[in-house]
Amino acid sequence: MGSVVSLLFGKTSLEKYIQTIEIDSDRIIAIKVCNSNISILVVQIYLPSSNHSLAEYKDEVDTLYDLCSLHADTSDIVILGDFNGNFYRNVTSGLTSRNQYLENFRHDLGLTVTTSLPCCTGPPYTFVPYNHSQPSRIDHILVNEQLLTSVVACAVIENSPLNVSRHLPVFLSLNVDFGPEHPVRSEAYRRITFSWNSANAAKRYEHKLNATLQQAKYSNTKNIDDLYDNICKAMLSASLSAIPIRSYSNILKPYWSASLKTYHKTLKTYVQLGS
C-alpha cells in the first residue's frame, strides 16, 4: 500500500482564498492561502519512515525544498506533518544522517520549528511506537521567519480515549491579517491539458504565438513582472486557439509514452520479485 497524505480545511469564509498546488509526490501536498494582501504556502507532509532508505528520504526532502524555494519569494511558509525525523534545539553536530539532512533543509530555508519553541505546551513527544519503546517527537510545524510574529499558540495535544492513532495532534494558531477582501479565487486558474500529439499542433501554436508577440509592444514594458505576466498570457492564448484540449489526468505526464509505460511495468515486476 502506498503512502497517503491529506490536508483538510473547514468550508468557511477561508475557502475562497485557497489555491491548490500541483506536486509530483504522494507524500507532499500543498495549498496556497492568498489574497491581494497576503500569501501563505501551507504544506502537509508524510516523509518516509526509518524502514525506507536514506536515499528515498532525501529525495522527498529535496522535493519539499524545491517546492518551498519556488514560493519563498512570494509567500510565507507553513510546513506541518510527520517528518519521521527530529529537530534538536541548539544541536548541530552528532546528528544521524537523516536528522542532519533535515536540519540542513530547515537552516537553508530559514525556517523555525514552532513545536520546539518554549511557548509550545504539552508532552515532549508526538509519537509512541507500537512496541512501546521510547516515545519521540517526529511531528512538527515549521514556519518562516516572517510568520513567527503571528504565532499565537502552539501545543502538542495530550492523548485521549478518542485518539486511536499512535501520533498526538500538533496545534498551531496564527493571527494573520488578510486585509481587504479581494481574494484570488482558485477557480480562476483552470486546469487545462493540451493534446500536443495532434497533427501540426506545434506549428499552429508557434505561428499564433509569434503573431501575438509581434502585435504587442512588450519592449515598452519596464516592469519585469508585467512583462512576464504578458508573455504568459500570450502563451496561454496561443495554446487555447491552436491546440486541441483533452481530458485531464493527474497521473499522465507529457513525456509518458507507450514504451515508457512498458518499461515502468517491467520495473515494477522486478521490484516485486526483489531483483
Instruction: Report if residue 58 sits inside a domain.
Output: yes
pLDDT tens for each residue of the chain, 275 residues long: 344 556 666 656 667 788 888 888 889 999 998 887 889 999 999 999 989 999 999 999 999 999 999 999 999 999 999 999 998 877 667 789 999 999 999 999 999 999 999 989 999 999 988 877 889 999 999 999 999 999 999 999 887 666 778 899 998 998 887 766 544 443 333 445 566 666 677 788 888 888 888 776 655 556 776 777 778 788 888 888 887 766 555 445 555 567 777 777 777 777 667 65
Residues 244 and 142 in one domain: no
Instruction: Report if residue 199 sits inside a domain.
Output: no
Q: How far apart are CA 168 and CA 102, in angstroms?
A: 21
Residues 113 and 249 in one domain: no
Would you tell me how many other CB atoms lie within 10 Å of the CB of residue 274? Answer: 5
Could you give the number of structural domains in the chain? 2
Q: Cα 142 to the chain's mean position, in Å?
A: 13
Q: At 139, phi and psi to the nearest 5?
A: -105, 130
Residues 27 and 152 in one domain: yes
Map residue 72 onto helix, strand or coil: coil
- The grid coordinates listed for 2 are 502506498
Instruction: Report if residue 41 sits inside a domain.
Output: yes
Per the CB < 8 A criterion, the answer to whether 162 and 154 are in contact is: no
**Beta strand 151-156 pairing with 120-121:** parallel
Domain of 211, in residue numbers: 205-273
Instruction: Report if residue 200 sits inside a domain.
Output: no
Q: What is the CATH number of the domain that holds 130?
A: 3.60.10.10
The domain boundary, picked from 174, 190, 215, lies at: 174
Q: Give me the amino acid identity at 98.
A: R
- Check: pTM over 0.85? Answer yes or no: no
Residues 150 and 220 in one domain: no
Instruction: Report if residue 182 sits inside a domain.
Output: no
Instruction: Report if residue 79 sits inside a domain.
Output: yes
Sheet hosting strand 28-34, strand order edge to edge = 18-21, 28-34, 39-46, 76-82, 139-144, 111-113
